[in-house]
Amino acid sequence: MMLALAFALQAAAMPAPAAAPAPAAAAATQWPVQEGDYIIRDFHFRSGETMAEVRLHYRTLGQPHRNAQGQIDNAVVVLHATSSSGKQFLQPRFAGELFGPGQPLDIRKYWVILQDDIGHGQSSKPSDGLGMKFPHYDYADMVELQHRLLTDGLGLAHARLLMGTSMGCMHTFLWGETYPGFAKALMPLACEPIEVAGLNRMWRQMIIDGIEHDPAWDGGHYTSEPQEGLRLAQSIFFIAGSAPINYQANYPTHDAAAAFVRQRVDAAIPGTDANDMIYQFDASRDYNPWAGVSAITAPMMWVNSADDFINARNLPYPQEVTAKMPNIRFRLIPETAETQGHGNHSWAKFWKADLADLMRRSEG
């Protein structure tokens, strides 16, 4: 494990889904972040492919605390969304609500771990050079790699809390089934514990197909990014993360709405690699923890949103899961002109009271 020296990282805010007047997150803060890379050698993927070295990048805030048995007992693991990285959690809307003095994940008390999953951020990914020859990882591979980083790399036997947003939410359900007892509490934000099918699979498939049907993609052998494919992909991704009432309230004219969506899509394209995006959205292909959710025993707080396009509010699964899991609580964030659709998962003001309650009821 190679641990970089500590330094202060600016928690710059990324564009919000809307420029709406809303209860403001805390101002940008210089968070004391440590960064490092952990190398996992000769990793075998469920596809049958292998990789000699998988690099996993991570960030930490705070310091580990050890109990009388010498085990770290204050680790908080936060898992990120598709196409993002652990850096997303340094934004004021998340870190500014949670990591400061007296807040639910006060870094004077907790050791917060923000990792970049394979295929994302500064971890190993297709755009490093392998392109479409990169191993075809899935969510189970991603969770196993997360486990290897946390246990072998960072020395954890247990986590005080494991939480995740969107893709990280789905990973949280897999963690509860695959590694029972590892986390003292679980908090999945913005997902369902079912196979990615129906409309949820359809929009993902459109993203993949939109890139692959651009002649400039060239089977993944492009020398410059396939711009039309990426424009279509980012346009679909924008729709999936939309917030209808918010957008109607804040972009009530044709010109305002058109300008906003063009700005958002234009801004997203330069930072996107086509092959990375294909892998990221294909990785959910065999996710389906439904049969095992009743075996999850750790206290859980599951939060979805009424204005979430991806996880529709009238799906029956939250009611079915809560009926057979005694330690789970579920809350649906009501839709307002301030809520951010699927993106509510990263706006902690909407659910930090639920997190504080989870931390209290999982003490001891």
pLDDT, tens digit (0-9, with 9 covering 90-100), for 193-245: 999 999 999 999 999 999 999 999 999 999 999 999 999 999 999 999 999 99
Q: What is the pLDDT of residue 364?
A: 78
Is 337 found in the same domain as 226? no
Q: Give yes or no for residue 184 having a pLDDT over 90.
A: yes
Is 168 found in the same domain as 49? yes
Percent of the chain with pLDDT over 90: 90
Is 131 found in the same domain as 186? yes
Is 26 found in the same domain as 98? yes
Q: How far apart are CA 155 and CA 312, in angstroms?
A: 38
Is 185 found in the same domain as 44? yes
Specify the CATH number for the domain of residue 312.
3.40.50.1820
The answer to whether the beta carbons of residues 309 and 342 sit under 8 Å apart is: yes
Is 173 found in the same domain as 83? yes
Nearest to 284 by CA among 175, 193, 184, 156: 193
Q: What is the pLDDT of residue 28?
A: 60
Q: Residues 136-162: what's their mean pLDDT? A: 98
Is 304 within the bounds of a domain? yes
Percent of the chain with pLDDT over 70: 92
Is 235 found in the same domain as 183? no
Q: Identify the domain boundary among 218, 252, 281.
A: 281
Domain containing residue 213 = 199-281
Please state the domain count of the chain: 2
Q: How far apart are CA 231 and CA 217, in angstroms?
A: 13
pLDDT, tens digit (0-9, with 9 covering 90-100), for 241-254: 999 999 999 999 99
